[in-house]
Structures are given as C-alpha cells and as structure tokens.
Structure 1
Amino acid sequence: MPRNRALIMLSVGHACVDVYQGAVASLVPFFVAERAYGYAAVSGIVLAASLLSSVAQPVFGALTDRWAMPWLLPVSTVLGGLGVALSGVSGSYDWTLAFVAVSGVGVAAYHPESARVARRVSEGSHSAMAWFSLGGNLGFATAPLMVTAVVATGGLRLSPLLVVPALVGSVLCLPVLRALAKPVRGGSGGAVATGADDIASFVKLSLAVVCRSIVFIGLSTFIALYARARPGGSTAAGTAALFVLYLGGAVGSVLGGHLANRWDRVTVARRAYLVAVAAVAGIVYVPGPAFYAFVALTSVGLYVPFSLQVTLGQDYLPTRVGTAGGITLGLTVSVGGLAAPLIGSVAHATSLRTALTPLILMPALSWLLFRTLPEPAPEPTGAA
C-alpha cells in the first residue's frame, strides 16, 4: 500500500478515536442542563475518562514494545466509542462514570500501538507524523458538532448514535494492518532509531507534556461553560468556543510539522509555548469577541508542539518507541483530566475565571522545561 494512502487511513482512524476524547468534554454542558450536574460532578466525569487512560497507557506502551499488537487498533477504537455511546443511556451518575472510564481504556489501548505503526509507515518523517496527529485533532474538533447534532435534538437518550465513528474507524484501519502485517510482526521497523535511551530528557519532555495537557483539558472541560457565562453568552457560544479550540489544534499540528523542517523541534515547541502563555491569559481576562481569537491562538500554540513531542519522545527512547508514543501522544489527551476536579472545586468555591487563571502558568512551565532539552541528532532515514 502506498505510504500516503496508509497515512491518510491511519489519520482518519486516529480521528475516529480522538473524537471520543472530545466528546466527553462536549457532553459536559448537556449533563449540566439535563441532569443538573455541578462543576465538581462534571469534573468527575472527565476524571473517570482520564484516570484509567493515564494509568493504562504506559502499560500498553510497554506491552507493544515487547509484542506487536496491531489488533488493538480496531478493538480499542470500538471500545472507546461504546463507552461514550452508553454514557447517556442511564441517569445513574455511577454508570456514567463507568462508561466514560471504559472509553478511556479504549483510548489508552489505541495510542501506543498506533504511534508505533504510524512511525513505521511515516519512516520517521516529522511532517508525516504531523498529518497523523492532525487526524486526532480533527476528531477533537468534530466532537462538539457531532455531540450537539445528536444530543441537542433528542437528549442524552440518543447517545448510542455516537458509536458510528468508532465502527467506521475500526473498519478503515484493517487494510493498513493487513498491508503492514509482516513488518509489524517483525518489530518496530526500520524507521526506528538505534542508540541509547536518554531517560533524563524523556522525563523532562513528559513533564512538559503533562503541563500542556492540564491547560488543554482544563479548557476543553470548562471553556463551553465559561463562554456561556460571559456577557451575551449562550449554548451556541459555548459550542463555538469548543469547536474553535479543537479546530485550532488541527492547524497547529500541521504547522508544527512544517516549522520543524525549518527550525529544530525543540526551538519550535519552545516558541509555541510562549505564544500559548499570552493566549491563555487573553481567554481568561480579555472581554468581547476577541475571546474567540485568543481561543484559536491558544489552540495553535498548544498544538504546534503536539506531533513534535511524539517524535522527540521516540528519539529520546529509541529502544522503546511504544512506551514513548503512549506517554507523549496518549498522556497529552488524558493526564489533564486528573486536574479537572481541582479546577471544578475552585470554580464552585469562587468563580470559573478564578479557577482558570492558574492555567496561564502551565505553558510557561512547558517552555521552561523545553529550554533544558537537547535536539536529538537526525535519523539516518532522512526524517524531515
């Protein structure tokens, strides 16, 4: 199968998985409206989707470093979709938590193996990995539109319809896996770098990813509610803000891959995080329609480093690319949920603006960590 075709199919499959990470946050306003959940309750839902995913992803990463598991791609895609699809069918808060946790496990199982397969197909190209990451960003961007189209028309009882992308994604990945069956069974493939693991740099990179995750998932969880609470806000304003946040990520991912062809990845990521500091401050404190411009700028600033962090992590841990992909690609969409209950508690005790203010510091911490990171030597494959 031609590389470009395989990358497109993997990217679409990635979208069909990450739409469910975006769907959890997109369902928050509907849980609030239909079930009268408070800030703490909806934070718990995001936590349920994130907690098991955060714990499980390094485990799945270690397993895929030891054994190739291509079957995880279709199975985990379906699992992620089923959890979200069932989250609205019961009025029980406990069952809702259980279902979104199941979705989180599906997402956790998908990312390490998909990152390994994508690295094999992309032959180490930063630009190609950026296009793979773009799929996940488009999934995020589509989530609020998909959820609103389904749930706003008939309520949470129609949530089973949300399983459709998972079914599509699971089917699309099968031809790619069949085409790559022999290379996948043989190991990580020739695109994987050789050399010693730089564990210290990988730990610093992972901490930067965690800081980035906290601000992005924090905004994903509460920006729709924040937009609604602003002067002139509405449900439509909240959906629009979430859509802009996710769509800007798609732009940022592709832009990051192209910028890395001109400057090194560490420099590009460092500058992007500086932009994100100012942009998050604009979201929280600047009034009026400029709010949406700052949402878009924040998303671009946070997503320019997205695919670059994946390839950096794999270059820092060349002998454990599954683990590296699971942490840098997977934790990016899960660990931030662990901070969501704290943000919700502060919002309940004070205000949502007060609770979102500390998020301004998170990209600044990522910037500081990137100042200590080296740029790995180019791979012999001629990665872009």
Structure 2
Amino acid sequence: MGPVRRNTSISLLAAGHACVDLYQGAVAALVPFFVAERDYGYALASGIVLAVSLLSSVAQPVFGMLTDRWAMPWLLPVGTVLGGVGVALSGLGDSYGLTLAFVAISGIGVAAYHPESARVARLAGRGSHSAMSWFSLGGNVGFAVAPLLVSLVVGQGSLRWTPLLVLPALVGAALCVPVLRALGRRAGGAATTPSAGGDDDVASFVKLSLAVVCRSVVFIGLSTFISLYVRQRVDGGDTAGTAALFLLFLGGAVGSVLGGSLADRYDRVRVSRWSYLVSVVAVAGVVHVPGPAVFFFVALTSVALYVPFSLQVTLGQDYLPSRVGTASGVTLGLTVSVGGLAGPLLGRLADVTSLRTALTPLIAMPVLSWLLFRLLPEPAVDRPATPARQGA
C-alpha cells in the first residue's frame, strides 16, 4: 500500500502525461506536412503552433487559479480527450482557419490537463523531486514519440489520416481514472481538496516564470523548425528531419530524470543554473556547427533544457504554496506553450532571411534564464505534512 502503490500511481500518471504531451509534439511534427501538402510558408506554418501555444499560455494559469479554489480531477481525462480530438481533426479540410480552430481545441485540452495533473502528481509523489521528474518524464516520452507516430500515420498517406491520432487520448483518459479513485479513497478526500495556504514568495516566482518563458522560447522555436532546418543541413531528407525532432524530444526524457536525481543531491536552483549554461553551448552548436554533428548538439540541447523542467514545477509550487494550481499552470504550462508566441516572428525572419539567421537569437535565451536563476533562492520546504502522505 506504501511505496508500491505510490509507484503505481506515478507510473499511471506518467503514462497519461505521455498521451497528453504527445499532442503538443504532434502539432510541431505536423508542420512539415502542412508545408508540403498545403504550401504554407514558414510564417503560416508557425502560426499553427502559435494557435496552440497562445491558448495554452493564457488558459493554463486560468485553469490553475480555478483548481486552487475547487479541485477538478475530472479535468485529467476530459483535457486528455480534447487534446486528442483537436489534433485528430486538424488534418481534415483545406481551410487554414479550421486548422487553427482544431489545434486551438487541442491546446485548450492540454491547458486544462496540466495544472490539475501537477497537483495530483504532487499528492501521489508526496512532494518528491524524483516523483515529479518521473511524471515529467511521461510528458517528454510523449513529445519524443509524437514525430514517429505522426510520420507513421500521416507520412504513409496524407493529412486525411490524422483522425487515427485520437487513439492515444482515449488510452490516456482511461489511465487517469484508477489513479484518481485510489487517491480519493486513501486520502479520505484530500486528493480532491485544493492545497492549503502558506507564505508566498511572489518576487521569486515572477523571476522563475521569466526564466521559464526564456526556456520555452528556445525549445518551442527549435521544435517548430528543427526538422526543416536539419533537412537543409544534412543530406537525409524527411528521415533526417524526423530523426532530429525525435532526438530533441527524446533527450528531454533523459534530462528530466537526470534533473530529479541531481536535485536529490544538490539544490534545484544550482542544478538549473548549470544546465542553462550547458544549453548555451548546445544551442550554438545546433545553429552553427556544420554536418552530422548537429544531431549530437540537438540531443545535448534537449537534455540540458529538460534538466530544470520538473525542478521548475516544484520550485514554483514551493514559492507559491498557497496557490499550487496557479504555480503549476504558469510553470508547467509556460514551459511548453509561451515559446510558441515567438514562432511567427522566427518564421517571418526565416522567410526574409534564412532559418539559420532566424534561429541564431535563440542562443541568448538560456543565457537570460541563467541570469534569472542567479537571483533565485532555494526555498526551505518541510514536505511531510500532508493527509495524502498518511494514507499512501
């Protein structure tokens, strides 16, 4: 009933997280097919990513504030299904407006899922950095699988096959249900009650949020254009582009687990600082080092950018202990969404210059994150006192 049950809950939540974040990765993976089949330019193609990112960046904190007042565990299965339905419908019809509307539906579903799922994962894992890193790992695996699944489904035919992409959402929704029931029973209702209050450090949370935004700009910018960019750099066609996107997402799985492990030995702020310094070198390598070495730097970039991924979530929750849902909505949501706001600017710059020129400013983003983390304290947190801990 103790560690085994907790591990089962975290595993199921991680698998469900993979099913949800698969759809964020799928939007980026669909971009080359929209360009090829519908003749979209870089700016129009990046606008599709923007539709998801803009709604997610606005909606996730809103959902977070709502879940701080009323626990809404049902958002996990409902958000998962919406995320899948939107992407499944995005390949139908030739209307750019309808495509934007469908991916926007997917973005709303993803936005609804994340704040509440982070709160539930915190309860299931008893506030453990490692548990949150495994939960985050699920999302990273979903990102990594997305380009392979899209290539398998759409690459063998056309965008008309996107309805098949709804299947992971149905699986993910089903995985949520037993976890929510088990937590509700063991905690005697605590799993369906918003978090208790505490002393908030708003100034530190704002600085953390700005660092998350900078990180998301570079990651979403690369995920939107890396496939097209590597196709230009390496004589490998579609295969090279898909491999680069897969590495960008797969490296995140390694980085998330590594981040949780390092945070158990060192403090989260210090680990995040070093990871952002490594990211500067890695992103510069992706943009400017020629030849097949680009694949190494893509993988290094992914690992370095994802080491602080789950650490930023728990830091945000600890800076705002009275508003865990809001903190999760901002940190976990912005990490994978706000960067899309810079996508159209990068796309427009690429249209008038080149992709290399457009991607070069991304090198500065992890520098800014590193500078912001130098201003952050490591919060002192006493984790044991929660009802969920007694029953788990």
TM exceeding 0.5: yes
Q: Which residue, 320, 327, 330 being the options, matches 2:333?
A: 330
**DSSP-derived class of the 2:92 partner:** coil
User: Number of matched residues?
Assistant: 382
1:298-327 deviation digits (Å, cap 9, x = unpaired) = 001100000000000000000000001111
Instruction: Please say if 1:70 is aligned against 2:73.
Output: yes
Aligned partners of 2:339 and 2:188: how far apart in 1? 31
Instruction: Please say if 1:379 is aligned against 2:385.
Output: no
Aligned partners of 2:191 and 2:208: how far apart in 1? 25
Q: Which residue, 17, 33, 47 being the options, matches 2:36?
A: 33
Aligned partners of 2:345 and 2:67: how far apart in 1? 33
Q: Which residue, 238, 241, 246 being the options, matches 1:243?
A: 246
**DSSP-derived class of the 1:28 partner:** helix
- 2:307 aligns with 304
**Mapping of residues 12-91 of structure 1, within 5 Å:** 12-91=15-94
Instruction: Please say if 1:256 is aligned against 2:259.
Output: yes
The answer on whether the counterparts of 1:80 and 1:166 sit within 8 Å (CA) in structure 2 is: yes
- 1:273 aligns with 276
Runs of 5+ unmatched residues, structure 1: none
**DSSP-derived class of the 1:373 partner:** coil
**Mapping of residues 1-384 of structure 1, within 5 Å:** 2-182=5-185, 183=187, 185-186=189-190, 195-381=198-384
What amino acid sits opposite 2:343 in the alignment? A
- 2:390 aligns with none
Percent identity, please: 74
C-alpha change, 1:138 and 1:382, in structure 2 (3 Å) is: farther
1:44-80 deviation digits (Å, cap 9, x = unpaired) = 1000111111111111000000000000000000000
The alpha carbon displacement at 1:193 in A equals: 7.7
Aligned partners of 1:185 and 1:272: how far apart in 2? 39
Q: TM-score under structure 1 normalisation? A: 0.97
**DSSP-derived class of the 1:346 partner:** helix
The alpha carbon displacement at 1:243 in A equals: 0.1
C-alpha change, 1:248 and 1:71, in structure 2 (3 Å) is: same
Aligned partners of 1:187 and 1:380: how far apart in 2? 16
Aligned partners of 1:150 and 1:34: how far apart in 2? 15
Q: TM-score under structure 2 normalisation? A: 0.95
The answer on whether the counterparts of 1:70 and 1:184 sit within 8 Å (CA) in structure 2 is: no
The answer on whether the counterparts of 1:244 and 1:292 sit within 8 Å (CA) in structure 2 is: yes
Aligned partners of 2:68 and 2:204: how far apart in 1? 20
The alpha carbon displacement at 1:289 in A equals: 1.2
The alpha carbon displacement at 1:261 in A equals: 1.0
What amino acid sits opposite 2:140 in the alignment? N
1:194-224 deviation digits (Å, cap 9, x = unpaired) = 6310000000000000000000000000000
What amino acid sits opposite 1:340 in the alignment? G
Runs of 5+ unmatched residues, structure 2: 387-392
The alpha carbon displacement at 1:233 in A equals: 3.9
Query: Which deviates further from its counterpart, 263-272 or 47-56?
Result: 47-56
Cα RMSD over matched residues? Answer: 1.5
Aligned partners of 1:144 and 1:289: how far apart in 2? 20
C-alpha change, 1:217 and 1:309, in structure 2 (3 Å) is: same
**DSSP-derived class of the 1:153 partner:** coil
Aligned partners of 1:138 and 1:194: how far apart in 2? 33
